[in-house]
Amino acid sequence: MKINAERFLMDLHHLRTFGDSGVGKGVIRPAYSEPDIAARKWLASRFHDAGLRVQIDEMGNLFGVADGPSLLLGSHSDSQPTGGWLDGALGVIAALEVARSSREAGGPAISVVSFQDEEGRFGVTTGSAVWSGHLPLAEADKLVDHTGVSVATARHAMADLSTGPVDSAQFHGFIELHIEQGPTLDQSGEQIGVVTDIVGIRDMKVTFEGQQNHAGTTPMHLRKDAFQAMSAFNTLINERFRNVVTPSTVWTIGHVSLHPNASSIVPGKVVFSMQWRDGDADRLARMEKIIRDTAAEVADAREMMLNFGPMLGLEPVKMDVQLRGALEAAAQEIAPEKWRTLPSGALHDATNVSKIMPVAMLFVPSIGGISHAFEEDTDEADLIAGVEVLARAVSLLG
């Protein structure tokens, strides 16, 4: 099987035009947005041209299905609010290119998928969580984004495209090509990463509610200042995590809503996202206890209200040995001594899909280790090497 690098790159750059940010190669293509749906309609036309049956399920997961049992390749085409052009997109277009090349060479049957809301506008890898049975659709429909829009409302925008549920039993495995989104390959100068396992994640909203008041007349010792509560909470968990975490554990307060967010008003309420990730489920649980206990301690000490939103989470997963072996053999053939195995610190749809079939992943480098930013990029030679390794692994699996 020989991939057509020119055709692959042309489609990859065309996908970038949907939600082009106008800043570098960045994209703004959140789940169910106009550019996201337009991109999915274009991808559907490319899947159809590749001889695949187009199917879109009720969450907006887009499939190009081959006849009979097939290997599923793909990723996601929605982006972060300010996203990179390759995160997810690379895996979808690489999958399409391998599906086309395999069909042209009379090779194995390959189906393609672009999952919806992997970037978690509403939850955590929401589209593949529903498709894999991890999250009931009725539960997903209740999830809301930071502006209060629900999945039920958002997905209605593409309801007319839905062809109904897509049966996962027709696929005997899933392989996802993705950018590393971290510094390892960039710093080592290697071209390919074969993933060993994907970390687990926990994500929930925390609310402190005190007393909104005048910023000039309210003495410091009488304040019930929500920002100060969050600041004290953050300082305490950083201290208390010390003897629980390892150098690869991460935790992030990435989204903060301060109310009423005005210079001359003591903030009465703060709602913030608390997310933590690690390869060990037990460590995630110990961190959760520290988070909950510390928040309660801060709220009590400051006589404030405390509320935890629903906690979303995915467990750490190991990649399938046989699929991973084919990726390693292909990497050694195509990028001899320029590849390594490594864990994934980023979450991927493969985590959900691993509940219903064997999965594996491979990475190409991110320049400067940057991702989830308009500067995200990868050398073209590395993009092509990634697709070639994916295609070779598919041939080896037969």
331 contacts: CB under 8 Å, gap ≥ 6: 192, 194, 339, 362, 389
Q: Write down the least CB distance from residue 28 to ligand HGY, Å.
A: 15
- Residue 196 structure tokens: 């060993």
What does DSSP assign to residue 101? Answer: H
List the interface residues with ligand HGY, window 151-170 (CB under 6 A): none
Stretch that binds Mn ion, among 83-91, 103-111, 223-231, 293-301 (CB under 5 A): 83-91
- Residue 165 structure tokens: 């549920």
Contact 76/127 with Cβ under 8 angstroms?
yes
In the list 35, 74, 88, 279, the residue contacting Mn ion (rule: CB under 5 A) is: 88
Q: Write down the least CB distance from residue 89 to Mn ion, Å.
A: 9
Stretch that binds Mn ion, among 3-11, 87-95, 268-276, 331-339 (CB under 5 A): 87-95
Q: Of Mn ion, ligand HGY, none, which one sits near residue 347, judging by CB under 5 to 8 A according to partner kind?
A: ligand HGY
**What is the x/- site pattern for Mn ion, positions 224-263, by CB under 5 A?**
----------------------------------------
Please count the CA atoms within 13 angstroms of the CA of 230 that sit on its side-chain side: 26
Nearest Cα to 110, choosing from 91, 122, 97, 124? 97
**What is the x/- site pattern for ligand HGY, positions 309-348, by CB under 6 A?**
-------------------------------------xx-
The Cα–Cα gap between 338 and 360 comes to: 19
Closest to ligand HGY by CB, 40 or 76: 76
Q: Write down the least CB distance from residue 276 to ligand HGY, Å.
A: 12
Q: Write down the least CB distance from residue 57 to ligand HGY, Å.
A: 20
Q: Please tell me whether residue 36 binds ligand HGY under the rule CB under 6 A.
A: no
Q: Please tell me whether residue 119 binds ligand HGY under the rule CB under 6 A.
A: yes
- What residue spans of the chain are helical by DSSP H? 5-16, 34-49, 89-104, 126-131, 137-142, 151-155, 184-188, 226-240, 281-301, 321-334, 349-353, 380-397
Stretch that binds ligand HGY, among 113-121, 167-175, 186-194, 304-312 (CB under 6 A): 113-121
144 contacts: CB under 8 Å, gap ≥ 6: 122, 150, 151
- Residue 351 structure tokens: 């985590």
The Cα–Cα gap between 354 and 199 comes to: 13
**Amino acid occupying residue 179:** I
Q: Write down the least CB distance from residue 84 to Mn ion, Å.
A: 8
- Residue 229 structure tokens: 């509560």
The Cα–Cα gap between 39 and 16 comes to: 9
Cβ atoms within 10 A of the Cβ of 222, count?
10
Q: Of Mn ion, ligand HGY, none, which one sits near residue 36, judging by CB under 5 to 8 A according to partner kind?
A: none
Work out whether strand 269-278 and strand 256-259 pair parallel, antiparallel, or are unpaired: antiparallel
Cβ atoms within 10 A of the Cβ of 244, count?
14
Stretch that binds Mn ion, among 10-18, 79-87, 310-318, 380-388 (CB under 5 A): 79-87
Stretch that binds ligand HGY, among 63-71, 115-123, 223-231, 323-331 (CB under 6 A): 115-123
Q: Write down the least CB distance from residue 7 to Mn ion, Å.
A: 23
In the list 11, 87, 203, 209, the residue contacting Mn ion (rule: CB under 5 A) is: 87
End-to-end distance of the chain based on CA atoms, in angstroms?
Answer: 11
Q: Please tell me whether residue 145 binds ligand HGY under the rule CB under 6 A.
A: no
List the interface residues with ligand HGY, window 344-373 (CB under 6 A): 346-347
Query: Which residues make up the interface to ligand HGY (CB under 6 A)?
Result: 118-120, 346-347
Query: Which residues make up the interface to Mn ion (CB under 5 A)?
Result: 87-88
